[in-house]
Amino acid sequence: MSEWWDYGLADFLLFSPRVYYRLFETMNSVWWIAVLAAFVAGLVAAGLAMRHGHRGNRVILVLLSLIWGWAGYGFLWQYYQPINWAVAYILPGFVIEAVLLAVFAARPLPLRFGWRGDLTSCVGAGLLVVAFVIYPFVGLIEGRDLIQAELFGSAADPTALGTLGFVLMARGTWRWLLLPVPLIWCVFASATLWVMDQQVAYVMFVAVWLTIFSGWLDLKNGVTTRRLTEAERATPASLSD
């Protein structure tokens, strides 16, 4: 098997940045209604997640589940896979993530989203801002057209970034199960962008580390493992961890 050890990361750069960014242009032009709808759905979910309440939690998860399903089919399957065969190996991850989000939405005790003012919340909110506002429009600085914008909800990179943000803004047991797929995607995307010489690779890379660090802090403080008490479920304001 030594033949496979010869390969470097650059050997797997199969396409040029021009072809890559045209994927978004084509998708945004052909599927603009779905792209816009997914983006708006994401915004609604983000709005709900920032509220410190216990209503809308299931809605957020359902919307995210639909978004992952759409990003998997709309972008990965239709556009990205034809130019990058490695995507075929990650595509099932998108299905798993969509199913997991649906399961989390359906289970009796759903996740609770909300701003808590701690480091994890700050990182989560920061990632949401990056995913919704900054990431789609970095291309403009680099001279790409607006039509090539990578929007949360359809393009995989901001969708994965934003999902990390959502999970960090959430509270509830087993929520870390929602992290591996977006984390793996961010690592994959970061490597791809890096070999394409795209500075935005660092954003994905930093997001991965911040998420892992915040998750580790939560784990250390027992936030991950403790179930919400009845009182906490009844009174969102009493959430203290």
Note the residues at the interface with other proteins (CB under 8 A). 1, 3-4, 6-7, 13-16, 19, 22-23, 26, 78-79, 82-85
DSSP state string for 44-67: HHHHHHHS-SSSSHHHHHHHHHHH
Q: Cβ closer to other proteins: 65 or 84?
A: 84
CA angle 154, 97, 93 (to 5 degrees): 85
Beta bridge partner(s), residue 171: 112
User: What distance in Å separates the CA atoms of residue 98 and residue 69, rounded to the nearest whole number?
Assistant: 6
Q: Which residues of 17-33 are buried (b: 16+ CB within 10 A; e: fewer)?
A: eeebbbbbeebbeebee
How many angstroms separate the CA atoms of 153 and 34, rounded?
9
Residues in the chain: 241
Cβ–Cβ < 8 Å for 154, 70: yes
Q: Which of 83, 187 has the CB closer to other proteins?
A: 83
Judged by CB, which is closer to other proteins: 19, or 106? 19
Rank residues 78 and 173 by Cβ distance to other proteins and give the closer one: 78
Q: Would you give the DSSP letter of residue 15?
A: S
Q: Quick one: 47 or 82, whose CB is closer to other proteins?
A: 82
Question: Which CB sits closer to other proteins, 14 or 109?
Answer: 14
Q: How far is the CB of 114 from other proteins (least distance, A)?
A: 41
Shortest Å distance, C-beta 222 to other proteins: 47
For the bound state, the minimum distance from the C-beta of residue 6 to other proteins, rounded and expressed in Å, comes to 5
In the complex, the smallest distance separating the C-beta of residue 11 from other proteins, rounded to whole angstroms, is 8
In contact, 115 and 121? CB cutoff 8 Å:
yes
Q: Which amino acid is at 25?
A: E
Please choose, from the candidates 241, 73, 101, the residue with its C-alpha nearest in 3D space to the C-alpha of residue 171. Answer: 241
Least distance from C-beta 90 to other proteins, angstroms? 15
Name the residue among 184, 164, 186 with its Cα closest to residue 175: 164
Q: At closest approach, how far in Å is the CB of 75 from other proteins?
A: 12
